[in-house]
Amino acid sequence: MRDGVGYLPVLADPAQYLAKAETLILPFGSNGHPIPGTPDASGPLRVGVDLGTAYTVLVVLNQQGSVIAGEYAFAQVVRDGLVVDYIGAVDLLREIRTHVEHRIGRELTHAASGFPPGVPRAEVRATANVVEAAGMRCPDLIDEPSAANNVLGLRDGAIVDVGGGTTGIAVLKDGKVVYTADEATGGTHFSLVIAGALDISFEEAEELKKDPRQQKRLFPIVRPVMEKVGSIVERHLRGMDVDSITLVGGTTVFPGIAGVVEEMTGIATRVPERPLFVTPLGIALSDMQEL
C-alpha cells in the first residue's frame, strides 16, 4: 500500500471502497438527483475520464479521494484504444459532464484521462483532445493498468485490464510498473462470437452478455475468447517472476474468466469488486490540477 497524495485513504480495503463507489456512479440517463450521504464536494475536485471501447465513464472525487458522483454510458466511440468517432465521443462526454455538474452543483473544468499501454502517442493525445473539446483541461494522462493500481495498491504481481477491445497488462515490482503491453481482444469479441453463434445482432448479443441469467449458458460460447485473453497474458508473463494476476475492466464481470486465465497461465488470478470502475477511479486519482 502506498502513502501520500494521489492514493486512496482506504486502499487496505478497496472492495469496500468500490462497493460504495458503485452507488455514486450512475448509468447516464438516470434521474440526476444528488444521493443522500454524498461526500463533501466543496473543496478541490479530482476528475477522471475513461474513454473505453464499450463504456465512457466520468468520475468525480473530492481531494480526500472519496467519490462524489459519476456517470457511465455504453458507447462505441473508441476501438482498440483509438478514438474512431471523435464527434460522437465529444458530444457524449459533454452530455455526461453536464449531467454530473447538475448533480454536484459545480462546474467541471479539468480531468485526467487514461490510455491502454502501447497506444501511439498521437492517439493518446487524441484522447486528451476529446476531453478538452468537451470543455475540460486535460494535461494529465496515465496508462490504464497504472491507474488501476492507484486503487488496488499492489506491490507485486500483474494487473490485466480487459476492456471492450483490448487486454492491457502491467507487471509490478515493489509498487512500480516495470513492464506493460496491450493487445486486441476484449468484451467486443465476446459479443461478436455470441452474435455469430446465436444468429442475432451485435446489439442483442451485447445486452444478452450482460444478463446474469444468461451467462451460464453463454459461457461455452465465450470461453474461447477468454482462452485467447489467457494466452495473451501467458505469453507476456512467460519467464517473469509473477505470482498473482488481478483482472480489472468491464469484461471481467463475466463469471468464469478468472478461472480460465488461471488455467491458461498457471498463476493465481482474481477479480476485485466492481472491476468496471477500478480504472476510471484510478484515473481520477491521478488528477492533480487542483491539489
d(CA 45, CA 64): 9
Nearest to 16 by CA among 248, 274, 286: 274
Grade residue 271 by pLDDT with cuts at 50, 70 and 90.
very high
Question: Could you tell me which residue, 274 or 266, shows the higher pLDDT?
Answer: 266
The contacts of residue 248 (CB under 8 Å, 6+ apart) are 148, 152, 159, 160, 161, 162, 271, 272, 275, 278, 279
Over residues 190-211, the mean pLDDT reads 95
pLDDT band at 10 (very low <50, low <70, confident <90, very high): very low
Q: From the CB of residue 239, how many other CB atoms can be counted at a distance below 10 Å?
A: 6
In what helix (H) or strand (E) does residue 259 lie, and over which residues does it extend? helix 257-265
| pLDDT at residue 80, as a whole number | 61
- List domains and CATH numbers for the chain: 14-143 (3.30.420.40), 148-276 (3.30.420.40)
Read off the pLDDT of each residue in 61-80 and give the average, rounded to a whole number: 83
What whole-number distance in Å separates Cα of residue 266 and Cα of residue 285?
A: 32
Quote the CA–CA distance of 22 and 2 in Å, as a whole number: 23
How far apart are the C-alpha atoms of 276 and 57, rounded to whole Å?
9
Range from 6-10, 139-143, 189-193, 245-249 carrying the lowest mean pLDDT:
6-10
Cα 77 → chain centroid? 15
Q: Which three cell numbers stand for residue 200?
A: 442475432
Distance, in Å, from the CA atom of 229 to the CA atom of 160, rounded to the nearest integer, reads 10
Label residue 73 by pLDDT band (50, 70, 90): confident
State pLDDT tens for residues 137-157: 998 889 888 888 889 989 999
Q: Smallest Cα–Cα separation from 60: which of 79, 46, 71, 50?
A: 46
CB 77 within 8 A of CB 51: yes
Sheet with 268-270, strands from edge to edge, namely 176-184, 166-173, 157-162, 244-248, 268-270
